[in-house]
Chain A
Amino acid sequence: MSEKSRDADLLARIRAGDKSACEDCVQRHAPGIYRLALRLMRNEAEAEDVMQETFLNAFKAIDRFDGRSELLTWLYRIAYNAAMARLRRRQPESISVEDAADPQDGSLVPKELFDWSSLPERELEKAELRAEMEKAVLDLPEKLRAVFVMREMEDLSTEAVAEALGIKSDLVKTRLHRARLGLRERLSTYFAHEMPKNRE
């Protein structure tokens, strides 16, 4: 059974009041929702609250889910909205810093040109690198972070991310590109510092 038809089956069973289907849904999707919430909230306790809110709201509103998007995409949308509402409450005066990261202003023009591209994937076994990579994601502006996490780390399609965030696919691509450039710069700086002897 494909992922899509498995979710369709799950949806029908949840709507029919089958509690085991709710449990299946949580088993399948809670880890991804939790990772998204954790990376958006940057706080374990708040990520837990967002995840709980997501499933409570989803099961409550399951009859209103029209099935046009996939179940997972719908859950991501609920989670994203719950996280954003909390972040707005936390910092009501804050404004998005996305504009400040617009490549038009030159801030995303690559600066660090240290070549670390031949590093093997086994570098990822190093806890320090993994921590730096996670931290770099957390330091991205919220809107770029949401796109990057969903698209690159949770492997949603561009269209699914667009649906989850309620934005156009072109904007998903633009934000993904900005996020990637920002992370490239960050990792390049990290490796340039970590491997100074290898510099030209």
Chain B
Amino acid sequence: MAHDNCCHLLNDLSDFLDGEASEEICAKISEHMAGCKKCRVVVDTLRKTITFYRQLPDPEMPGAIQERLYKVLDLSEFTRKNGVGPR
């Protein structure tokens, strides 16, 4: 992909990985990858990047921030009465 003759495929890679590229584009990319190790690495690591980010654990919202939100929205009294909301 670092080669000039590989760059024309670059813009279609996300569509390719998301299964949204046309058959013609898929065939072109697959054919190119079969003979270009560098492009295979780019596609494989791009795919892995997407997988890793989709599986990255979400940061949690601190309880104190949630509590202050309820207070600002005037929901604290309700949540206290009903035993729901921030713990």
Chain A residues at the B interface, C-beta cutoff of 8 Å? 19-20, 22-23, 26-27, 30-31, 34-35, 38, 44, 48, 51-52, 55-56, 59, 103, 108-111, 113-117, 119, 121, 123-124, 130, 133-134, 137, 148, 152-153, 155, 173, 176-177, 180-181, 183-184, 187-188
Contact = CB atoms under 8 A, between A and B. Distances in A.
A130 B14 contact: no
Given A103-B11, A152-B50, A187 B75 contact: no
Interface in B1-38: 1-2, 7, 10-11, 13-15, 38
B75 A38 contact: no
B49 A187 contact: yes
Contact of A23 (B14, B38, B51, B85): B85
Interface residues of B, number: 43
Nearest to B53: A152
Contacts of A110: 1-2, 10, 42
A133 B49 CA distance: 10
Given A31-B58, A117-B41, A51 B53 contact: no
Contact of B53 (A26, A114, A115, A183): A183
25 contacts: A23-B79, A23-B84, A27-B85, A30-B69, A35-B58, A38-B59, A48-B68, A52-B68, A52-B69, A52-B72, A103-B10, A109-B2, A110-B10, A113-B41, A115-B45, A117-B47, A153-B54, A177-B13, A177-B14, A180-B14, A181-B13, A183-B53, A184-B42, A184-B49, A188-B45
Given A23-B78, A187-B45, A113 B73 contact: no
Contact of A184 (B45, B56, B73): B45
Interface SS, A side: helix
B72 A56 contact: yes
Contacts of B61: 30-31, 34-35
B10 to A, nearest CB: 6
Nearest to A111: B2
A176 B53 contact: no
By Cβ-Cβ distance, the 5 closest A-B pairs, closest first, are A117-B44, A177-B14, A184-B49, A34-B61, A117-B48
A26 B78 CA distance: 13
Nearest to A104: B11
Given A26-B75, A180-B46, A180-B49, A115 B58 contact: no
Nearest to B79: A23
A34 B65 contact: yes
